[in-house]
């Protein structure tokens, strides 16, 4: 499931293309503004000279921090003067700033950190998810499973009311995703809409810049086991873990269809617990009744699930035949 090197290279090439295009637009923009207002070019050239002077100051240790501070003050004053002149000329000063499609990472995909290694930006994770979805065939699944194709006319009476309530709950989950930490467990027999609603949520969150990892329980644990027990696959294991623990939303579909053994039990608890500790949401869907879940997994898993997940029980006609 981990992204292949070719996919990473593809993402890096995309960033390069975005930066090149933004630089071209920026140059074009400046050329036009400078042609109409040459005084702004003069001021910007002056700022560039001062920044160069600052770089030299930093290199020459004998001049000390005072010299650098003095240049900093000159830069700030020159900026303020340029902004004032821009406003007087009817140009919004922010229009003269460099153009970035992603203001967080400046179209590099990574955010530098003073305390540790650079971390992947949200936009990188989103692209990563999109590529993974594409590779895994999920993109097609999301085309057929999203709110725009949802039909409620197939339900009647209480079942309809119940399904609509679940839909409202899912929409609330999506809308408050960035502010409220929540988890969902969809329970119900085959075809009652568990995977459909999970897909709807995945689709909406991907479109609002979130990284989503969607895996069936069987694939999830098979991949982890394969990577865990093979030395050759250590880097792959790390990449899988990185995605499982690092994505904004993890969806585990069909819990209960995987093999039961102590490895699965430990991994499941670790995933649920780690994501709980880092306040990252999980959606689980299962055909199992709660009592069967308790029998199949350990008490600590069961209590974590019932204690920190909103449990939505779905019922009704088999949606797979009508959607």
- Of 19 and 37, the one with the shorter C-beta distance to Zn ion is 19
Give me the long-range contacts of 88-92 (CB less than 8 A, separation at least 24): 89/36, 89/37, 89/39, 89/40, 91/33, 91/37, 91/40
- Of 82 and 120, the one with the shorter C-beta distance to Zn ion is 120
- Of 123 and 133, the one with the shorter C-beta distance to Zn ion is 123
Residues that bind Zn ion (CB under 5 A): 102, 104-105, 121, 123
Least distance (Å) from Zn ion to the CB of residue 66?
A: 37
Least distance (Å) from Zn ion to the CB of residue 128?
A: 12
- Of 123 and 314, the one with the shorter C-beta distance to Zn ion is 123
Of 322, 311, 20, the closest CA to residue 185 belongs to: 311
Least distance (Å) from Zn ion to the CB of residue 309?
A: 31
Least distance (Å) from Zn ion to the CB of residue 280?
A: 19
Are 221 and 161 within 8 A, CB to CB?
no
- Of 50 and 105, the one with the shorter C-beta distance to Zn ion is 105
Centre a 10 Å sphere on the Cβ of residue 229 and count the other Cβ atoms it contains: 10
How long is the chain? 323
- Measured CA to CA, the distance from residue 9 to residue 11 in angstroms comes to 5
What Å distances lie between residue 107 and 85, 97, 122, 248, CA to CA? 29, 15, 11, 20
User: Mind giving me the DSSP string for 271-306?
Assistant: HHHHHHHTT-EEEEEESS-HHHHHHHS-HHHHHHHH
- Of 54 and 127, the one with the shorter C-beta distance to Zn ion is 127
Least distance (Å) from Zn ion to the CB of residue 100?
A: 8
Least distance (Å) from Zn ion to the CB of residue 97?
A: 16
């Amino acid at each position: 499931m981990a992204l292949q090197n070719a996919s990473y290279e593809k993402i890096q090439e995309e960033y390069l293309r975005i930066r090149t295009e933004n630089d071209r637009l920026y140059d074009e923009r400046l050329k036009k503004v400078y042609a109409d207002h040459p005084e702004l070019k003069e001021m910007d050239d002056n700022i560039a000279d001062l920044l160069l002077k600052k770089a030299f100051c930093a290199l020459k240790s004998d001049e000390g921090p005072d010299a650098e501070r003095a240049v900093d003050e000159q830069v700030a004053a020159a900026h303020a003067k340029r902004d004032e002149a821009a406003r007087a000329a009817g140009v919004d000063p922010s229009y003269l700033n460099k153009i970035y499609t992603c203001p967080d990472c400046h179209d590099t995909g990574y955010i530098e950190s003073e305390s540790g290694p650079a971390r992947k930006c949200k936009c990188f994770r989103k692209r990563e998810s999109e590529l993974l979805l594409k590779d895994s065939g999920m993109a097609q699944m999301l085309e057929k499973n999203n709110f725009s194709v949802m039909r409620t006319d197939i339900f009647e009476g209480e079942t309809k009311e119940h399904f609509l309530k679940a839909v409202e709950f899912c929409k609330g989950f999506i809308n408050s995703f960035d502010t409220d930490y929540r988890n969902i467990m969809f329970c119900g027999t085959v075809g009652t809409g568990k995977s459909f609603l999970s897909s709807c949520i995945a689709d909406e969150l991907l479109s609002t810049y979130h990284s989503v990892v969607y895996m069936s329980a069987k694939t999830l644990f098979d991949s982890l086991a394969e990577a865990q027990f093979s030395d050759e696959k250590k880097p792959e294991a790390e990449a899988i873990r990185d995605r499982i623990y690092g994505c904004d939303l993890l969806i585990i579909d069909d819990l209960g269809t995987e093999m039961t053994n102590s490895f699965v039990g430990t991994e499941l608890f670790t995933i649920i617990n780690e994501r709980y500790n880092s306040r990252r949401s999980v959606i689980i869907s299962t055909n199992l009744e709660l009592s069967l879940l308790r029998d199949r997994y350990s008490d600590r898993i069961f209590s974590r699930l019932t204690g920190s997940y909103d449990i939505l029980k779905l019922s009704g006609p088999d949606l797979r035949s009508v959607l």
